[in-house]
Structure 1
């Protein structure tokens, strides 16, 4: 027998994988709060704000494939692989439910940093343009583009240098000889 939470989760997963913001909104409680992985400065509060954010996210995230689900009737954790532009990422979603089985709190976590910054650089400008704030959208885009570039470049060129499985160069002080 399926519970209300199971029904909500099935719809939520289908909405994410098909990038259907309207279907995702039906899974949200009116008083939902969304806690972003990108900022602690504000939360998306209420179904309207959360729906606006999901619509923008589904515009810039071009692939979502859920792979793991854990939890019970009060809270579930969902994990998916995604892609934003050319950057792949993984997101964890902590969902808390109200008595009707709808999502009343959604906390998002993401990794690796290049994927998260790609989402950050893409989603803000989309949301601001939809709110008829094109100048602010360009400012946010200009401010986040260098961070996305630096994390992408660092991931490809610098981070591999810290790989603990990478052989140390011969004659390097501090390396085992």
Structure 2
């Protein structure tokens, strides 16, 4: 029997349309999503992932999926997007459950300044939605400093080490 990738097609279309409700329809009820920012937490279940998608899809513009590679129940997706004026590239490892819905997602974002900018935009709103207003005020300070260092490294330091 051939593996169905209908849920993956739905996930892709929902991401490009920035439609969190449609994206959640592609997910198993027991979905696990591992953050690209930290392995210290994951999002469990449709409700937590929906909250993340609400915030993330409001912050990320012009999502365009460029590649899909599949083997059995594992699919790798790649997209390009914008976070403000910063270009973002994301790889997603999706695993399909027995119901052919997406049961596990692991996200990878590059370059580092895009990831740190995303953190400054998503972190405060996620903290507010989790009832942590104090943390919502702290995150921009911590992530802003990391973002500044990442941009400085990307624009001023690393170009000096580039192959010649």
- For normalisation by structure 2, the TM-score amounts to 0.93
Distance 1:132 1:44 in 2: 16
State whether structure 2 residue 88 is matched by structure 1 residue 105. Answer: no
Query: Gapped runs of 5+ residues in structure 2?
Result: none
State whether structure 2 residue 142 is matched by structure 1 residue 149. Answer: no
Equivalent position of 1:168 in the other structure: none
Equivalent position of 1:27 in the other structure: 26
Give the deviation of 1:53 after TM superposition.
0.9
State whether structure 2 residue 116 is matched by structure 1 residue 117. Answer: yes
Give the deviation of 1:3 after TM superposition.
5.5
* Bigger radius of gyration among the two: 1
Distance 1:70 1:101 in 2: 16
Secondary structure class of the residue paired with 2:16: helix
Give the deviation of 1:132 after TM superposition.
4.0
Query: Gapped runs of 5+ residues in structure 1?
Result: 166-177
Distance 2:68 2:92 in 1: 10
State whether structure 2 residue 63 is matched by structure 1 residue 64. Answer: yes
Distance 2:154 2:109 in 1: 15
Q: Give runs of ≥4 in structure 1 deviating > 3 Å.
A: none
Give the deviation of 1:117 after TM superposition.
0.9
2:20–2:53 CA contact under 8 A, matched in 1:
yes
Bigger mean CA deviation after superposition, 126-135 or 14-23: 126-135
Give the deviation of 1:141 after TM superposition.
1.3
- For normalisation by structure 1, the TM-score amounts to 0.87
Distance 1:73 1:25 in 2: 22
Cα deviation code 1:91-118 (max 9, x no counterpart): 1000000111101000001111111111
Aligned pairs, how many?
A: 163
Equivalent position of 1:54 in the other structure: 53
1:4–1:100 CA contact under 8 A, matched in 2:
no
Equivalent position of 2:132 in the other structure: 133
